[in-house]
């Protein structure tokens, strides 16, 4: 399996890793059973994503798509961020192997999950705005037996 | 400066030994005769193949006419399983295997299901061992074949093959073993193990890729898998891979001669590396602590994912592997890791390091040192890690 140089770069030197302090939008998608979890945290001010960071459990492509997605939405308006597609993430990474396309879908979903959380915090039903997202159920987040 | 490569994926393939290369060279250059032809250069090829057959037979305690050269482990497994099923279908249509076999065995078994055969898959314990009592319970009057691997490719666990084969024979059932990871690494003798068929592959013991053998005990008749010009005494058609079988025989001879020294050295390196890796919090050894291949280090590292570990180790020139879903091209991690009872999320963090002849203590210490950095880096970005 061949990763593009861009995928390898974003995997080895991921941008925006961590958790945003004073985040007002946090979303987590995926599940450990399938081997991918992405968490996005954002600080949104005046409809603009002023800061965004990610944490990911997953393969090289999962990390690279998370990293690229943060770059693509940082400094953008909510409306622009909602227009981000998995295809755009893939293109920005010069493509992904076919078995890894689902990682780019997860990255798109993680951005949407964070934005959904932003609306929910304001008492607004996010579904009409961001669409339906399968967010992580925190009760069965993982079972490492420790 | 060229990056130093530390190759520790010897269960995947091994570098060709000097002995194997020298044994192959003439048959790749000035001596090309087809062993089936009758002129003198062809007779040289024929003699070389028969000498190789004697050497391979001697290495596993077999007779030369019990060795059939094939294209490798996969063909040997397919042949043993599918042709035994075909030959004995009138006697019964039930086969038994284990939950941790190589895909060449599991998929061969699977293919027989559509032809009306039934397959019982024996569970293994947390170390990957098959329970002989479970095997005996699974045998039915219509059981025709049992196939259980000698040593596992992912976790290195070595099965009690002699004991399992004895149970098979008590019930008059044929016993095949995939010994691809064992031959050339631990003592394998078909007379002591009492197996009826045994698969091996040259590139796992420093021979060339694309050549292997199936041992078939004298007196057992199974039809060919490949039909054609009647090579290998009518049982495996196809012009012989002269260079390949000569390389295989030379590699195996060398592996057997150096085994006592090599296996003791690798076991020391293996245990040193395991000890160092297990000092990293939330890691766990997979496979049996003692009954394991001398070069196999296999662990799971919690809260991170295997492919990521492999990619970061590669930056330091370390070539290792993982049984995570992302390295298998599916959503499920390796069936072996699930069979030993690991939850999916833990199995995704698997790391397999298989040491070989060229590895040194320095390599092992370098791997351990870099692995600590890699794990720290990946855990720092894992949403599961609460440090």
User: Are residues A17 and A123 in contact, defined by beta-carbon separation less than 8 angstroms?
Assistant: no
Distance (Å, whole) CA B371 – CA B7:
15
DSSP designation for B287: S
Distance (Å, whole) CA B334 – CA B204:
20
Instruction: Determine whether the interchain pair B384/A59 forms a contact, defined as Cβ–Cβ distance below 8 Å.
Output: no
Which residues of B are catalytically annotated?
A: 326
Instruction: Determine whether the interchain pair A144/B282 forms a contact, defined as Cβ–Cβ distance below 8 Å.
Output: yes
The pLDDT value recorded for residue B327 is: 60
Tell which wins on pLDDT, A71 or B33: A71
List B residues 328-357 in contact with A (Cβ-Cβ < 8 A). 329, 331, 333, 343-346, 348
The pLDDT value recorded for residue A134 is: 75
Spell out the domains of chain B, with CATH numbers in brackets.
6-14+259-380 (3.90.1150.10), 18-254 (3.40.640.10)
The pLDDT value recorded for residue B41 is: 85
| A59 → closest Cβ in B303, B305, B346 | B305
Of the candidates B182, B103, B179, B169, the one whose C-alpha atom is nearest the C-alpha of residue B135 is: B169
The pLDDT value recorded for residue A146 is: 44
Of A47-56, A134-143, B8-17, least confident by mean pLDDT is A134-143
Q: Note the pTM of the prediction, 2 decimals.
A: 0.93
Chain B residue whose CA is closest to A16:
B381
pLDDT band, residue A108 (cuts 50/70/90)? very high
The pLDDT value recorded for residue A140 is: 46
The predicted model gives A90-112 an average pLDDT of: 95
| B326 → closest Cβ in A12, A59, A142 | A59
Chain A residue whose CA is closest to B311:
A60
List of chain B residues with pLDDT < 70: 1-2, 325-331
Q: Which of B305, B306, B323, B380 to mutate to test the interface with A (most CBs of A within 10 A)?
A: B305
User: Residue A139: is its pLDDT beyond 50?
Assistant: no
Question: Could you report the predicted ipTM of this complex, rounded to two decimals?
Answer: 0.90
SS3 of A111, please? helix
- Rounded (10°) CA dihedral B127, B130, B133, B136: 170
The predicted model gives A47-70 an average pLDDT of: 97
The pLDDT value recorded for residue B32 is: 87
The pairs formed by B192-196 with CB atoms below 8 angstroms and a separation of 24 or more are B192/B61, B192/B162, B193/B150, B193/B161, B193/B162, B193/B165, B194/B162, B194/B165, B194/B166, B194/B169, B195/B161, B195/B165, B196/B165, B196/B220
Q: What is the mean pLDDT of chain A?
A: 91
The pLDDT value recorded for residue B387 is: 73
Q: What is the DSSP string of B44-105?
A: HHHHHHHHHHHHHHHHTT--GGGEEEES-HHHHHHHHHHHHHHHHTTT--EEEEETT--HHH
Q: Which of A11, A19, A57 to mutate to test the interface with B (most CBs of B within 10 A)?
A: A57
Domain boundaries, chain A: 5-129
User: CATH second-level architecture of A5-129?
Assistant: Alpha-Beta Complex (3.90)
Distance (Å, whole) CA B17 – CA B267:
20
The pLDDT value recorded for residue B274 is: 98
SS3 of A37, please? strand
Whether A34 sits among the annotated catalytic residues: the reply is yes
Instruction: Determine whether the interchain pair A60/B308 forms a contact, defined as Cβ–Cβ distance below 8 Å.
Output: yes
User: Residue A143: is its pLDDT beyond 80?
Assistant: no
Largest CA distance in chain B: 74
């Amino acid at each position: 399996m061949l990763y593009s140089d861009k995928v390898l770069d974003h995997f080895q030197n991921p941008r925006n890793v961590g958790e945003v302090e004073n985040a007002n939008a946090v979303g987590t998608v995926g599940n450990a059973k399938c081997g991918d979890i992405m968490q996005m945290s954002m600080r949104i001010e005046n409809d603009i994503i002023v800061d965004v960071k990610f944490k990911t459990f997953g393969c090289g492509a999962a990390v690279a798509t998370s990293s690229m997605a943060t770059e693509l939405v940082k400094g953008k308006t909510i409306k622009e961020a909602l227009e981000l597609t998995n295809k755009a993430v893939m293109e920005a990474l010069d493509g992904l192997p076919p078995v890894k396309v689902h990682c780019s879908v997860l990255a798109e979903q993680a951005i949407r999950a964070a934005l959904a959380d932003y609306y929910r915090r304001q008492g607004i039903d996010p579904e009409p705005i961001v669409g339906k997202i399968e967010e992580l159920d925190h009760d069965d987040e993982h079972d490492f037996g420790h | 400066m060229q990056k130093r490569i530390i190759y520790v994926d010897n269960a995947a393939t091994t570098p060709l030994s000097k002995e194997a290369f020298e044994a192959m060279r003439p048959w790749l250059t000035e001596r090309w005769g087809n062993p089936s032809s009758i002129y003198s250069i062809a007779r040289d090829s024929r003699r070389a193949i028969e000498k190789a057959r004697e050497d391979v037979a001697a290495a596993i305690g077999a007779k030369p006419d019990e060795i059939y050269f094939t294209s490798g482990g996969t063909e040997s497994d397919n042949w043993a399983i599918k042709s035994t099923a075909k030959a004995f279908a009138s006697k019964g249509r039930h086969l038994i295997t284990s939950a941790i076999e190589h895909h060449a065995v599991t998929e061969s078994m699977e293919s027989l299901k559509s032809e009306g055969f039934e397959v019982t898959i024996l569970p293994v314990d947390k170390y990957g061992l098959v329970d002989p009592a479970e095997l005996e319970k699974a045998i039915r009057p219509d059981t025709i074949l049992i196939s259980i691997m000698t040593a596992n490719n992912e976790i290195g666990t070595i099965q009690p093959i002699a004991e399992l084969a004895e149970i098979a024979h008590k019930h008059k059932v044929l016993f095949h073993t995939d010994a691809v990871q064992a031959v050339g690494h631990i003592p394998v003798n078909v007379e002591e193990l009492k197996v009826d068929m045994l698969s091996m592959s040259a590139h796992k013991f420093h021979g060339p890729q694309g050549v292997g053998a199936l041992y078939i005990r004298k007196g057992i008749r199974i039809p060919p898998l490949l039909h054609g010009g009647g090579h290998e005494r009518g049982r495996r058609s196809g012009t012989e891979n002269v260079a390949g079988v000569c390389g295989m025989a030379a590699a195996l001879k060398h592996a057997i001669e150096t085994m006592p020294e090599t296996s003791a050295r690798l076991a020391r390196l293996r245990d040193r590396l395991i000890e160092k890796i297990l000092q990293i919090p939330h890691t766990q050894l997979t496979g049996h602590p003692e009954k394991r291949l001398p070069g196999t280090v296999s662990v799971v590292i919690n809260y991170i994912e295997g492919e990521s570990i492999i990619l970061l180790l590669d930056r330091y020139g370390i070539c290792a592997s993982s049984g995570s879903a992302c390295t298998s091209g599916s959503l499920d991690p390796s069936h072996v890791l699930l069979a030993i009872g690991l939850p999916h999320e833990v199995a995704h963090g698997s790391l397999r390091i298989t040491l070989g002849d060229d590895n040194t203590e320095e390599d092992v210490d370098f791997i351990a040192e870099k692995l600590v950095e890699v794990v720290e880096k990946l855990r720092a970005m894992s949403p599961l890690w609460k440090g």
